[in-house]
Amino acid sequence: MLHFNLEEPVRLLWFGEFISPEKGWRHLTRRLFEYEMMVVTEGELYIADADREYRVRAGEYLIMSPTRLQHGTRECRCRFYWMHFRASAMPVSLSLPPVGSYKSREAVEGLAALLLSSEAEEPRSFKSRYLATALLIELAGGGSEEKERLLPREALCASVKEYITFHRFSDIKVRDIAEGLGYHEKYLSAVFHKTEGVTLKRYLIGARLAEAKRLLSETDYTVAEVAYFLNFESPHNFSRFFKTETGISAGEFRKQAAQKA
């Protein structure tokens, strides 16, 4: 099984669709430094890594881990979406086999089309990263089977986290989450605190802070722009929030992150 931490979106490197020539095509030989996902929609793909050969048919996917030797094993005709990405493995929030079939071609191709369009507009944008993450989740079955195995309160908390993830650029409050999910605010807060060991308000703050850190360390946006993206009332309010939570200014955090990179 492959294990990914999707508490934040995957780091998308490249995404595209490939249609093999009619004759004589074989996957190239190279070293793979990151994960590569291949979702076959037509034909069959014959490919191997340093340890194993794969035959991936239409309706199936392959996620190849970094390997010193990726190569085609025979000539083939096929059509597939391909995506190179990086994602941390721990703590695990999604697990799926490296080879498997996907349930809905329409869902997969719909997400892929949106991702292709997003990449054409702005490569490796926030939108693209979320769409790439959604595509992985769809390959894993959309997460529905996993949720069904959870206890009711754990499933509710998973829904809360999903809601926060997809509204992370909004200044949402606990009452907004309760209204969005159809629960009483006090009940939702109590269940989340009891199940997760942290108050929902504190979790919200942590999620917003994590996104702020990511923007400061991975982009060239100014502090004022980061404040704008995260819907703070003003750059001053954002700067005060950041220093209160971390003990250092946003500018100092960015310098330290750059030194560690």
> Within this chain, do residues 119 and 234 fall inside the same structural domain, yes or no?
no
- For the chain, the C-alpha Rg in angstroms (whole number) is 21
CA–CA separation, 232 and 245 (whole Å):
15
Where among 76, 109, 142 does a domain terminate? Answer: 142
Which tokens belong to 45? 């793909």
CA–CA separation, 212 and 226 (whole Å):
7
Residue identified by tokens 């894993």 is 140
Res 145 pLDDT > 70: no
Kindly report, residue by residue over 208-240, the tens digit of the pLDDT.
Answer: 999 899 899 988 899 999 998 888 989 999 999
Q: Tell me, what's the pLDDT at 22? A: 79
35 bridge partner residues: 85
- Domain count for the chain: 2
Considering only CA atoms, which of 170, 180, 163, 235 is closest in space to residue 208?
170
> Within this chain, do residues 16 and 116 fall inside the same structural domain, yes or no?
yes
- Number of helices (H), then strands (E), in the chain: 10, 10
51 or 92: whose pLDDT is higher? Answer: 51
Where among 142, 166, 197 does a domain terminate? Answer: 142
CATH number of the domain enclosing 113: 2.60.120.280
Q: Provide the CB-side half-sphere exposure for 156 (13 A, CA).
A: 21
Residue 172 banded pLDDT, cuts 50, 70, 90: confident
Please give the residue range of the domain that contains residue 52.
2-142
At 252 the three-state DSSP class reads: helix
Q: Tell me, what's the pLDDT at 158? A: 85
> Within this chain, do residues 134 and 218 fall inside the same structural domain, yes or no?
no
> Within this chain, do residues 62 and 181 fall inside the same structural domain, yes or no?
no
Res 142 pLDDT > 60: no
Kindly report, residue by residue over 89-137, the tens digit of the pLDDT.
Answer: 766 678 888 999 988 888 899 999 999 999 999 999 989 999 999 999 9
> Within this chain, do residues 94 and 136 fall inside the same structural domain, yes or no?
yes
CATH number of the domain enclosing 214: 1.10.10.60
Q: Tell me, what's the pLDDT at 82? A: 97
Considering only CA atoms, which of 2, 46, 12, 48 is closest in space to residue 135?
12
> Within this chain, do residues 123 and 69 fall inside the same structural domain, yes or no?
yes
Q: Check residue 124 and report its DSSP letter.
A: T
> Within this chain, do residues 129 and 13 fall inside the same structural domain, yes or no?
yes
